[in-house]
Amino acid sequence: MLDVAIVGAGPTGLACAIEAQRAGLQCRVFDKGSIADSIRRFPVNMTFFSTPEQLELGGIPFTTPNLRPTRTEALQYYRLVAQRLAIPLQLYTRIERVVPADGAFLVQSNRGQWQARTVIIATGYFDNTNRLGVEGEDLPHVRHYYTEPFEYSGTRVLVVGGKNSAVETALDLWRHGAEVTLVHRRDNLGESVKYWLKPDIDNRIRNGEIAAHFSTVVRRIEECRVLLEHTSDGKTWWHECDFVLLQIGYRPDAELLERCGIELDRQTLIPHCNPETFETNVPGIFVAGSVMCGCQTWNIFIENGRAHARPIVASILQRLRASVRSVEARPTSHA
């Protein structure tokens, strides 16, 4: 019987495990992939917006010669944290549902089940991409994730989106020999684009090195072309390309949350929870990190998500102590 089962081995899940261990609780961290698996699947050359100290866990310094750490440095750091603090990990284990059972929970997975008194879900949102909902979106040359540019060198690539992921992807592709066109449904790039990327992409567009169509949406995708529509005047045209990279954002795994009995706001997919303890409508199940932000993925990051661990574990401690006192207070029967 675990005191705490933590679903998600990203920075927030690791932060919860660290707090749980320091409180003397028996815990285990489950993930369907590797440690910090979402970061592992980020673009290979990605640089974080945050400085190292904003990504640190457990008081272990995040050392780097750079002003901002890279993806590789972050992966090395979080692996080191898990190893140094001996965090119990159950990797490559997909949690399918959490079921109440005799005052505790059964944590059911593709590799068996575990018993836990409480559960923390910290699965983030990177595993579930937003979709355009157009014909051809599932063709083989259409990708929702981008890792590195070399596959696309010498080809024509249409990048859809207007925030950091789309901008970084477009610039990386252009610098490695791809012919890049950027399409965004709004009339300009997102305000959250990293300040060192904004002048770079603006100059590339201004110089005609990267083509850009704003106030434009994708209506249909075929093998070698995409039907685009300008939203202001309804004009449509076919754009020829070899690959389509959809960089249009992500959302939490709403189906997993609902299978665990957690209620969601139907419009935003934000789970219902106590804003101070992060306990959901299912007593004993908590949410932590960016899984809490639903579709509003710009609200919670590693920097503030890791702070959820302390109040959650404090609430779990209070809950478990109350349970022990309740058991001790029960009258014993005598034959």
Q: How far apart (Å, rounded) are the C-alpha atoms in residues 81 and 148? A: 27
Indicate whether 298 pLDDT > 80.
no
CATH number for the domain harbouring residue 12: 3.50.50.60
State which of 200, 228, 246 marks the end of a domain. Answer: 246
Q: Is the residue at 7 inside a domain?
A: yes
Question: Amino acid letter at 175?
Answer: R
Q: How far apart (Å, rounded) are the C-alpha atoms in residues 172 and 328? A: 62
> Do 90 and 6 form a contact (C-beta atoms < 8 A)?
no
pLDDT tens, residue by residue, 113-125: 999 999 999 999 8
State which of 246, 269, 289 marks the end of a domain. Answer: 246
pLDDT tens, residue by residue, 64-92: 998 899 999 999 999 999 999 999 999 99
For residue 334, what pLDDT is reported?
53
Number of domains making up the chain: 2
Residue 335's pLDDT band, with cuts at 50, 70 and 90, is very low
Indicate whether 276 pLDDT > 50.
yes
Query: Whole-prediction pTM value?
Result: 0.89
pLDDT tens, residue by residue, 178-226: 999 999 999 999 888 888 899 999 999 999 999 999 999 999 999 999 9
For residue 195, what pLDDT is reported?
86
Q: What is the mean pLDDT of residues 140-154?
A: 95
Residue 331's pLDDT band, with cuts at 50, 70 and 90, is low
Domain coverage including residue 29 = 2-128+250-329
Residues 202 and 268 reside in one and the same domain? no
pLDDT tens, residue by residue, 215-251: 999 999 999 999 999 999 999 999 999 999 999 988 8
Structure tokens at 255: 């189906």
pLDDT tens, residue by residue, 25-43: 999 999 999 999 999 999 9
Q: Is the residue at 334 inside a domain?
A: no
Pairing of strands 112-121, 2-7: parallel
Residues 13 and 119 reside in one and the same domain? yes
Give the mean pLDDT of the chain. 93
Q: Is the residue at 293 inside a domain?
A: yes
Question: Amino acid letter at 5?
Answer: A
Residues 118 and 19 reside in one and the same domain? yes
